[in-house]
Structure 1
């Protein structure tokens, strides 16, 4: 006679062994942050002792959830794969999702022809979405936000009372980067911005302007580098061709700063001796160029983790603040 396999351990048995409620076990399994250290330790021990394995299919059926989260990036594929900022953000999101019972679906699209993606996301195929790098023209993301709970990476273009987002203080970052250049004695300070359809780019430009106004300095040239390497190079060439050469440049991303660095070298100008240069991100690019970039660090990996945590908490019905603003910090190297 064949021995019958033991019945799977249930979540109720784990809760009884840990001395907590079923919902507490569920929050621990899903990786929610609103669990006390003592409860977390008790549940983790019970799970280990009982060899409990969550039944994803059964839980999905019982809760009427898909246990899937969409990551929507409204960008061209070439930009997504070419910018290390996205690699850090996605790594952080994925690390947090991996500690939960959710799976991550990636959607890269700078438009939604025929509303194919929007329809897919709104028809019960995902429980929620994280939207990163959005523009004023990305109207399709409003329809996604109307269909499922959403957390934005960066302040939404049209901020609503019920929007949730994770961001850094981009105004302060742009201001502090420019103040550093002013403190080093620079007076003709230009900037290379990102697209002015994106709040991060607009805010960094605002910070640059505020620092110059506070110092009584006339703003230098402003050119859009589109948050790309080649865009940064083209913007730098336009600045050099515009007339008075700047003695410093604030580029609103490391990728654009790298392009600017190449354009300055091609023009026979030395960094920082002839033109000081500062970037934004503290991505791997900053230490891969020569001279190494002085830059404003933003915690991209941690931002990704926080976006995923915020959405998981929302899906668990946990009351949380609508926004989380994370710090930036100046990293001084050789270019400024």
Structure 2
């Protein structure tokens, strides 16, 4: 990918070029272009003059100088079409629109260790008043040295910044509720079809399942790990059937894997829920229309996005005030026809002796 030419026909200037010409740090350039207050008038003048001379983002610089803010919020998110991350991004887009701010999105790639930090730098260069990080994969601790407020959605404190607020879904609690639903129906234990454990949400759902079993004193079967796809759920179902274990209930970490699992169980001659009960997670639109309709936990993507954006905008517009307190949405277990009481244990056949034995 080539950089656009600058005013003199050379490659487009970067913030580091502005910093060099103005005799300041790159971080100071970001502060000026973001309209932050803690920059002297002299330094601000030098940076803007350097930006003008180089032809670097003059519109953003002028807007930041005139208003003190760019009225833009940046979003860092994994580039994926998976239902959960994509739905959360759509919720963020709607919530940002309601705030009157513009939205700028930078996607990351799974396995790119510098992806989040690079995406944040890109947004700061574009000029944003705040940043939303919706990064579902654990790539290790990331310390973000930025002065604009950061909203972290769904991830733990691995993403740290001096003005960070959080909002998210308590996936561990939701997984506990899903598992407890099956235990309440009378199942002695619940098997788990887990998501890939590098994902924060998959690890949380695994932890919630384990906590629910431990609280009831139930045996913990070995979890089977999938990759979120229906195909991996189908493969896991075949694996469970081939294991010879008595399986009466399965909690799947997402609906797609649950649907693939049900297909494998059906092919093996097992009826859902008469022989095996299945609970999913997400409540994808098709969940109500599969056979049987799927019991699942509905994720409140819009509510989380609205709550998070409210906290982020408050931090942007009231930098000297304490952050707004978080609030957790209630767990919404949608009970349909894929769960029921367990089948009775088969009665062992009594051994008979032949006459004269």
How high is the TM-score relative to the length of structure 1?
0.72
| 8 Å Cα contact 1:66-1:124 kept in structure 2 | no
Please list every run of at least 4 consecutive aligned residues from structure 1 whose deviation after the TM superposition is greater than 4 angstroms.
Answer: 56-60, 112-116, 159-162
| 8 Å Cα contact 2:258-2:278 kept in structure 1 | yes
**What corresponds to 1:327 in structure 2?**
330
3-state secondary structure, aligned to 1:289: coil
Taking the TM superposition and a 5 Å limit, the aligned residue runs for 1:251-270 are: 251-270=252-271
**What corresponds to 2:102 in structure 1?**
103
3-state secondary structure, aligned to 1:246: coil
Q: Which consecutive unaligned segments of at least 5 residues does structure 1 have?
A: 1-55
Q: CA deviation at 1:271?
A: 1.2
Shift in CA distance, 264/193, structure 1 to aligned 2, threshold 3 Å: same
Taking the TM superposition and a 5 Å limit, the aligned residue runs for 1:1-336 are: 60-74=64-78, 77=79, 80-81=80-81, 83-110=82-109, 111=112, 112=114, 116-123=118-125, 125-137=127-139, 142-143=143-144, 146=146, 148-158=148-158, 163-317=164-318, 318-321=321-324, 323-336=326-339
Q: CA deviation at 1:116?
A: 4.9
Shift in CA distance, 315/215, structure 1 to aligned 2, threshold 3 Å: same
Larger radius of gyration: 2
Q: CA deviation at 1:58?
A: 7.9
| 8 Å Cα contact 1:154-1:167 kept in structure 2 | yes
Shift in CA distance, 163/232, structure 1 to aligned 2, threshold 3 Å: farther
3-state secondary structure, aligned to 1:181: helix
CA separation in 2, counterparts of 1:260 and 1:162? 43
CA separation in 2, counterparts of 1:162 and 1:61? 22
Deviating more after overlay: 147-156 vs 289-298? 147-156
Q: Which has the higher contact order (CA 8 A, sep 6+)?
A: 1
3-state secondary structure, aligned to 1:326: coil
3-state secondary structure, aligned to 1:99: helix
| 8 Å Cα contact 1:233-1:262 kept in structure 2 | yes
CA separation in 1, counterparts of 2:202 and 2:177? 15
Tell me the number of residue pairs that the alignment of Structure 1 and Structure 2 aligns: 274
| 8 Å Cα contact 2:172-2:204 kept in structure 1 | yes
- Structure in which a larger fraction of residues adopt helix: 1
For residues 128-161 of structure 1, what are the alpha-carbon distances to aligned partners after superposition, in whole Å with 9 as ceiling and x for unaligned? 221124322155x543x64642111114252758
For residues 76-101 of structure 1, what are the alpha-carbon distances to aligned partners after superposition, in whole Å with 9 as ceiling and x for unaligned? x4xx22x3333432332222211223
Q: CA deviation at 1:231?
A: 2.9
Q: Which consecutive unaligned segments of at least 5 residues does structure 2 have?
A: 1-59, 340-357
3-state secondary structure, aligned to 2:104: strand
Superposition CA RMSD, Å: 2.8
Shift in CA distance, 209/268, structure 1 to aligned 2, threshold 3 Å: same
Q: CA deviation at 1:218?
A: 0.7
For residues 36-90 of structure 1, what are the alpha-carbon distances to aligned partners after superposition, in whole Å with 9 as ceiling and x for unaligned? xxxxxxxxxxxxxxxxxxxx9986442343222122113xx4xx22x33334323
